[in-house]
């Protein structure tokens, strides 16, 4: 196992207003605890009625869930940002704690964020987590077990943390490597510095090593000039798409190319500047989006939105995307029905959606294709 990353911290100047309740105050300790008590059952049933697609309620009573991932036995694992818990939702609807990670220090947008599972040689399943400690954001992994997890290992350390703009999405790509969305941690200029980890999409091997094919030799940096990447997903051609939060305007969906510069903080939206890659889709008003997670099913992208409180659907073009910042066929779903949407996950022939409503958060499922 190789753990990489600098130790320098970010500047803490605040640009965006998002005041969330206090930190957990947990010490940065190695290892984890394994509570086994049943939280409750979550028998699927009709969700609250409203116009739009049919919804099935999968779980309620979650506390600010951030990420969902499916294990090979069918369990859905869910991270809670502020409690530092990973919960397990069984196929029969039982919701139980899997593990509490005491090294997590939550505060603002930092805490226990993205999850991913990578199987090693078809046997051991490694559970990866992106989390905030007292001093940094980092990626860790732990072997997944039936009733808990094994020892926690650091995989990538030293990603700068701040009250806001922590990124946090982690996904395994079709190449078997781990991709990581790292926010600028309020240090805008760092996004333009390929030697720093914030404001980037990063790519590492499952053991933390640096792939030889990465665009910057010896570095986990895959693309740069990002403000706060929140969603990652691949289409059937293996192209990487990312959803990203803009400032007071110009939330984006980008088509990611290795080594390219996506412009932040010099430009947002469609700049038509040869130095930077223009986004494929832009929301001029953050009230329509504030995009969080992104999932792709059948070359249709689904983007869950926070402030926008809706789910956007985008048919992805097979060839070169059109210029101009608008994907044809985009439509909005669930507008104003489920509150803030934090994560989306394809589970079989369903799209699971986790809401971001504090202690009243829930998970619903929509049938695919979404009507």
Confidence (pLDDT) at 26: 34
Mean pLDDT of 50-75: 91
CB 328 within 8 A of CB 315: yes
User: Does pLDDT of 211 surpass 70?
Assistant: yes
User: Does pLDDT of 11 surpass 70?
Assistant: no
1-5, 80-84, 156-160, 298-302: range with lowest mean pLDDT: 1-5
Percent of all residues in the chain with a pLDDT value above 70, rounded to a whole number: 86
Mean pLDDT over the full length of the chain: 89
User: Does pLDDT of 14 surpass 80?
Assistant: no
User: Does pLDDT of 112 surpass 70?
Assistant: yes
- DSSP notation for 292-315: EEEEEETTEEEEEESTT-SEEEEE
Mean pLDDT of 49-77: 90
Confidence (pLDDT) at 16: 36
Q: Which residues contact 355 (CB under 8 A, 6 or more apart)?
A: 65, 338, 339, 340, 341, 342, 361, 362, 363, 364
User: Does pLDDT of 348 surpass 90?
Assistant: yes
User: Does pLDDT of 6 surpass 70?
Assistant: no
Mean pLDDT of 55-69: 96
Q: Look-up: residue for tokens 């430009």?
A: 267
Mean pLDDT of 112-140: 94
Confidence (pLDDT) at 7: 39
**C-alpha span between 63 and 313 (Å, rounded):** 26
5-19, 185-199, 252-266, 317-331: range with lowest mean pLDDT: 5-19
Confidence (pLDDT) at 38: 65
Higher pLDDT, 199 or 21: 199
Confidence (pLDDT) at 53: 86
Q: How large is the C-alpha radius of gyration of the chain?
A: 19
User: Does pLDDT of 114 surpass 90?
Assistant: yes
**C-alpha span between 179 and 38 (Å, rounded):** 33
CB 269 within 8 A of CB 282: yes
**C-alpha span between 94 and 362 (Å, rounded):** 14
**C-alpha span between 50 and 37 (Å, rounded):** 34
Confidence (pLDDT) at 146: 83
**HSE on the CB side for 186, CA within 13 Å?**
17
Residue 80's pLDDT band (cuts 50, 70, 90): very high
First to last CA, the chain: 45
Confidence (pLDDT) at 357: 93
User: Does pLDDT of 30 surpass 60?
Assistant: no
**C-alpha span between 231 and 5 (Å, rounded):** 22
């Amino acid at each position: 196992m190789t753990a990489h990353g600098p130790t320098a911290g970010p500047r803490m100047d605040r640009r965006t207003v998002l005041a969330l309740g206090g930190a957990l105050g947990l010490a940065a300790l190695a290892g984890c605890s394994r509570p086994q008590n049943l939280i409750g059952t979550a028998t699927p049933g009709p969700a609250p009625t409203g116009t739009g697609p049919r919804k099935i309620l999968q779980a309620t009573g979650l506390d600010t869930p951030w990420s969902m991932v499916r294990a090979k036995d069918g369990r859905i694992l869910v991270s809670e940002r502020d409690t530092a818990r990973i919960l397990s939702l069984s196929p029969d609807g039982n919701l139980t704690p899997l593990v509490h990670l005491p090294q997590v220090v939550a505060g603002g947008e930092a805490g226990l964020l993205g999850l991913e599972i990578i199987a090693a040689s078809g046997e051991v399943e490694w559970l990866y987590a992106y989390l905030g400690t007292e001093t940094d954001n980092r990626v860790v992994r732990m072997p997944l077990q039936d009733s808990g997890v094994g020892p926690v290992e650091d995989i990538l350390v030293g990603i700068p943390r701040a009250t806001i703009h922590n990124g946090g999405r982690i996904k395994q790509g079709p190449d078997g490597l781990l991709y990581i969305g790292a926010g600028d941690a309020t240090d805008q200029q760092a996004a333009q510095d390929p030697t720093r980890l914030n404001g980037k999409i990063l790519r590492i091997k499952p053991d933390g090593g640096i792939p030889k094919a990465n665009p910057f030799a010896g570095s986990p940096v895959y693309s740069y000039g990002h403000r706060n990447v929140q969603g990652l997903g691949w289409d059937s051609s293996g192209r990487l798409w990312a959803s990203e939060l803009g400032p007071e305007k110009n939330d984006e969906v980008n088509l990611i190319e290795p080594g390219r510069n996506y412009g932040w903080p010099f430009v947002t939206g469609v700049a038509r500047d040869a130095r930077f890659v223009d986004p494929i889709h832009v929301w001029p008003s953050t009230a329509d989006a504030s995009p969080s997670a992104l999932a792709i099913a059948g070359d249709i992208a689904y983007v869950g939105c926070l402030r926008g409180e809706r789910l956007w659907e985008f048919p992805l073009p097979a060839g070169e995307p059109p210029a101009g910042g608008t994907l044809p066929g985009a439509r909005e779903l669930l507008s104003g029905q489920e509150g803030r949407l934090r994560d989306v996950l394809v589970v079989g022939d369903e799209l699971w959606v986790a809401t971001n409503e504090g202690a009243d958060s829930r998970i619903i499922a929509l049938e695919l294709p979404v009507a």
